[in-house]
Structure 1
Amino acid sequence: MKNLSRLFFVAVLIASFSTTNAQDKNNPWAIGFGANAVDFFPVGEDAPQGEYFDEYFNVTDHWNILPSLSTVSVSRYLSDGFTFTATGAINRIDKFGSNSDPITGKESTNKVDDLTYYSLDGRVSYSFMNIINSKTFDPYLGVGGGYSWLDEIGAGTLNGTLGFKYWLTENFGFDVQSTYKHSFEDYLPKHFQHSVGVTFKFGGTDTDGDGVYDQDDACPEEAGLEIFNGCPDSDNDGIQDSKDDCPYTAGLAEFNGCPDTDGDGVVDKDDKCPEVAGLKSLAGCPDADADGVADADDKCPNVAGPVANNGCPWPDTDGDGILDKDDKCPNEVGTVANNGCPEVKPTEEVMETLNSYSRSILFNSGRATFQKQTDQVLQSMVAIFKEYPRANFSLEGHTDSDGSKSMNQALSDRRANAVRDYLIANGIAADRLTATGFGESNPIANNRTRAGKKENRRVEVKLKN
């Protein structure tokens, strides 16, 4: 009993001060209590011991069990699934293998004096709990060493352990293990030591009491939710406060936690009309006439109008299609070309310019088709005709005296009409233009010279009353 007292004292001392194994990083400490059994038989030795694992579960004939609290352990978490455990155990040994009757061959338990057994051991264990992805079943392997005493004889041992824990709660579970102890001295036999008991994890800190340990809590001093690593979601909209632009008003994920009451895609905090669906371009306010002016600011909310006129259409007092703001003669019907004022007839100077262009029109020889370089001249004429949209003009074709009169008459007529067709095709109203051919009857130069003939081949433009 003297040795038992020593063992309990050492075990309590270890339980108080050891820095050994734990089960996880959040609860770095664990303490266990249980009962143990010592078996000297299945260790690969000659009688009264036996082969390895022979009758390994023969509790009745080989296991030495002290039917009381006989094992105390303290554990400390290391890292990455590794723990370190210190264990103290006591037992009473009265079975040491078995004997065989030389005559009958019958096996019987080899009895020994009531010997005291106690041990102090340390081991490093590796848990497979995360590998098998279990939250309750926690198998482990361990290796270590210690010192065991059998009565007054003691020796160091090399130990290998196989066991498992079954966690009933996060902090409480059962622990079952079997340890093989190989003695370094012949006077202490090899043996197995089995144990079963309960274990308690502790030491985790949860400052804000939200169920998430500080080590894993991104907001350790503010109660929060496990799904947000311990950070809060004050408005319960599924978005943690640190990522929520409106942390105290429930909203939508697409708007970073802010609400959109009218569903117009503009969050309430940025919506000038939060209860009426509107347009993003108008800060969430409606625009009934779609003129780009919010109804609240639109003086004509049901009639489209420009922003510059507060959403109302510009007036056209004289009804000439030119808005008063652009009409230089707002009370007098005019034309676009004359800025809303009545059109005036072209001046003599303008007519001279127009005829200088028309006389320079070049036709292909003997035909009514234009030479390529004439296109720019014709476009210049189109521009002048458009400046005077209410004026009417006659186009007169002329030729030189080469050829017959009838042929020249027909050619001049076709050429005058060719110019008219071009002008019509480029936007000049047909009813403003007439075309007539005069052949060789109205020369303006001597047809006996090359220069004179060139001048006589022409188209003239005249203003009609």
Structure 2
Amino acid sequence: MKHLFKLLVAAVLFMGIGVANAQDENHPWAIEIGVNAVDVYPVGTSDKGRIDPSMRGEMFDEYFNAADHWNIIPSVSRLAVSRYIGSGFVFTAAGSLNRIKKLGDYSADNLTYYGADGEIKYSFKNAIGSSWFDPSIGVGGGYTWVDDIGFGTANGLVGIKFWLNDNIAINFQSTYKHAFEDDYGISHFQHSAGLVFQFGGKDTDGDGIYDKDDECPETPGLAEFNGCPDTDGDGIPDHLDECPDTPGLAEFNGCPDTDGDGIPDHLDECPTVAGLAEFNGCPDTDGDGIPDHKDKCPNEAGPAENDGCPWPDRDGDGVLDKDDQCPDVPGTVANHGCPEVTVEVIKQLNEFSKTILFDLGKSTIRPESYAVLQKIVDVMKEYPNAKFEVEGHTDSSGSLKLNERLSKERAAAVKDYLVTIGMDASRLTSEGYGPSRPIASNKTAAGRQQNRRVEISLKK
């Protein structure tokens, strides 16, 4: 029990040294529990120390002769604490105990053996890209007591770990310890085998995944996503999820497609109604090339210039309102949707105009003619795009100059009156022709009366 206490004290001492010198807290600790064997035979005969050279062989002579030369006790006899420093280097503090019954080829009187060692080892595990095979080499130093006489040693070692999983390995190590004291030191080999338990490490976000293996070390996450979270639980970690707060599909990088139209909601202008990619996910029910949300008539095909609605034809004459100069009056295609002025209409207008009366020798319209002038306007308004000319005519009595002036003035008077009672001035012109266009003979009173007239003609 006293010997085990000394071993534990040595291990704790070196563990403290390891903590003080640790450089990278983001790499794990390891504890090794095992057995050791001490062999003083294959160390060479050049130095004396406490062992007669005749008791030893040459360096590495009978190196594996465990039966004749190795000292082993059947219990836990070695404890080690290791810290990964970085770049493949590991610091180890180890304590060991043993009983020396064989000094080379000779027997010994059950000498006590204690060792306390510090080691710097380089692991080739990462260099060779292995997940389980972990060879190493190292150097170190320590202090050894044999039967209460102590001496310092310089150590060189080789080892191999076989990792059973991420945290447990079997370690085999062979260490040559060269004694510094020529008079009472004992150079020897110490072989060991043990179980290594790796633990510790930094876990900044507390999710149980060490930072060195955590792709999201500052955000708690899941082991299946290497420490990254999946906030919406859609199986896509947040750092790869374009919509981390809304469950979605892998094909859309974690974003949903509510209407199932193949366009994810965040790119879909109509996310709840299945639509077309060309319209950013919105439908076009009537197929007129205008998506429904911009179409004033989504169920009837129509042009964009009419907001997706078909052009109306209010008067039903076959000419669309957009092309119909008379959209509220049925007309003909040839006359741009307006009714055409027929010969009968002109005849009717002239029947009315024959009754227009003027003061004698003047252009003043007599009041009894007002009613017939209103009828003329009413007929003209039935043909909204037609233009008319008011013509003034006289008989041949009197001077030509007077007749021409009078005919112009009477025609103008009729035109002006028609405008005052509602006719569009742009659709009327007037002209006087004097006696130049008679419709009867000027030789008779009846003929001259017919020639004194106002006529209305269609202006082309």
TM-score by length of 1: 0.61
Judged with a 3 Å threshold, the aligned counterparts in structure 2 of structure 1 residues 276 and 20 are, in CA distance, closer, same or farther, namely: same
Give the structure 2 partner of residue 140 of structure 1.
Answer: 136
Residue identity in the other structure for 2:286: D
Give the structure 1 partner of residue 66 of structure 2.
Answer: 59
Judged with a 3 Å threshold, the aligned counterparts in structure 2 of structure 1 residues 246 and 11 are, in CA distance, closer, same or farther, namely: closer
Choose 199-208 or 143-152, whichever is displaced more. Answer: 199-208
Give the structure 2 partner of residue 333 of structure 1.
Answer: 332
* Deviation (angstroms), 1:179: 0.4
Give the structure 1 partner of residue 351 of structure 2.
Answer: none
* Deviation (angstroms), 1:79: 0.6
* Deviation (angstroms), 1:197: 1.7
Choose 282-291 or 216-225, whichever is displaced more. Answer: 216-225
Pick one of 95, 100, 117 that aligns with 1:88: 95
User: 1:123 aligned to 2:122?
Assistant: no
User: 1:75 aligned to 2:82?
Assistant: yes
Cα distance between partner residues in 1 of 2:33 and 2:60: 26
Give the structure 1 partner of residue 168 of structure 2.
Answer: 172
Give the structure 2 partner of residue 154 of structure 1.
Answer: 150
Give the structure 2 partner of residue 266 of structure 1.
Answer: 263
The answer to whether the 8 A contact 2:29-2:82 is kept is: yes
Q: How does 1:408-447 map onto structure 2 within 5 Å?
A: none
The answer to whether the 8 A contact 2:27-2:85 is kept is: no
Cα distance between partner residues in 2 of 1:239 and 1:309: 46
How big is each residue's C-alpha offset from its partner over 1:28-47, in whole Å with a ceiling of 9 and x where there is no partner?
A: 32222222111011123253
How big is each residue's C-alpha offset from its partner over 1:259-310, in whole Å with a ceiling of 9 and x where there is no partner?
A: 1133334323554644542124545231133223334665654542024434
Judged with a 3 Å threshold, the aligned counterparts in structure 2 of structure 1 residues 215 and 8 are, in CA distance, closer, same or farther, namely: closer
Larger Rg: 1 or 2?
Answer: 2
The answer to whether the 8 A contact 1:21-1:83 is kept is: no
How big is each residue's C-alpha offset from its partner over 1:397-426, in whole Å with a ceiling of 9 and x where there is no partner?
A: xxxxxxxxxxxxxxxxxxxxxxxxxxxxxx
Q: How does 1:377-456 map onto structure 2 within 5 Å?
A: none
* Deviation (angstroms), 1:251: 1.7
Residue identity in the other structure for 2:154: L
Secondary structure at 1:324's aligned position in 2?
coil
* Deviation (angstroms), 1:9: 3.0
Judged with a 3 Å threshold, the aligned counterparts in structure 2 of structure 1 residues 305 and 35 are, in CA distance, closer, same or farther, namely: same
Residue identity in the other structure for 1:217: D
Cα distance between partner residues in 2 of 1:75 and 1:171: 13
Give the structure 2 partner of residue 44 of structure 1.
Answer: 44
How big is each residue's C-alpha offset from its partner over 1:217-261, in whole Å with a ceiling of 9 and x where there is no partner?
A: 354565323464412113343432244343243323453421113
Residue identity in the other structure for 2:145: W
Judged with a 3 Å threshold, the aligned counterparts in structure 2 of structure 1 residues 112 and 222 are, in CA distance, closer, same or farther, namely: same
Residue identity in the other structure for 2:214: D
Secondary structure at 1:10's aligned position in 2?
helix
Give the structure 2 partner of residue 19 of structure 1.
Answer: 19
Residue identity in the other structure for 1:333: T
The answer to whether the 8 A contact 1:21-1:29 is kept is: no
User: 1:249 aligned to 2:246?
Assistant: yes
Of all paired residues, the percent bearing the same amino acid is 61
Give the structure 1 partner of residue 10 of structure 2.
Answer: 10
Cα distance between partner residues in 1 of 2:278 and 2:157: 72
Pick one of 303, 306, 310 that aligns with 1:309: 306
Secondary structure at 1:19's aligned position in 2?
helix
Secondary structure at 2:114's aligned position in 1?
strand
Cα distance between partner residues in 2 of 1:36 and 1:159: 15
Choose 218-227 or 316-325, whichever is displaced more. Answer: 316-325
The answer to whether the 8 A contact 2:82-2:92 is kept is: yes
Secondary structure at 2:144's aligned position in 1?
strand
The answer to whether the 8 A contact 1:19-1:75 is kept is: no
Cα distance between partner residues in 2 of 1:157 and 1:166: 28
Cα distance between partner residues in 2 of 1:243 and 1:116: 62
Give the structure 2 partner of residue 290 of structure 1.
Answer: 287
Pick one of 175, 182, 195 that aligns with 1:186: 182
User: 1:240 aligned to 2:252?
Assistant: no
Cα distance between partner residues in 2 of 1:3 and 1:34: 16
* Deviation (angstroms), 1:195: 0.9
Secondary structure at 2:289's aligned position in 1?
coil
How big is each residue's C-alpha offset from its partner over 1:108-127, in whole Å with a ceiling of 9 and x where there is no partner?
A: xx112322222221111111
Cα distance between partner residues in 2 of 1:200 and 1:41: 32
Q: Structure 2 unaligned runs (5+)? A: 46-52, 341-460
Cα distance between partner residues in 1 of 2:128 and 2:215: 27
Cα distance between partner residues in 1 of 2:72 and 2:58: 21
Cα distance between partner residues in 1 of 2:69 and 2:267: 82
The answer to whether the 8 A contact 1:139-1:163 is kept is: yes
User: 1:35 aligned to 2:35?
Assistant: yes
Cα distance between partner residues in 1 of 2:163 and 2:55: 39
* Deviation (angstroms), 1:69: 2.2
The answer to whether the 8 A contact 2:14-2:118 is kept is: no
Residue identity in the other structure for 1:123: E
Give the structure 1 partner of residue 401 of structure 2.
Answer: none
Pick one of 85, 104, 108 that aligns with 1:97: 104
Quote the RMSD (CA, aligned, Å): 3.5
Residue identity in the other structure for 1:60: A
* Deviation (angstroms), 1:95: 0.8
User: 1:202 aligned to 2:160?
Assistant: no
Q: Work out the number of aligned pairs and report it.
A: 330
Residue identity in the other structure for 1:96: L
Judged with a 3 Å threshold, the aligned counterparts in structure 2 of structure 1 residues 91 and 252 are, in CA distance, closer, same or farther, namely: same
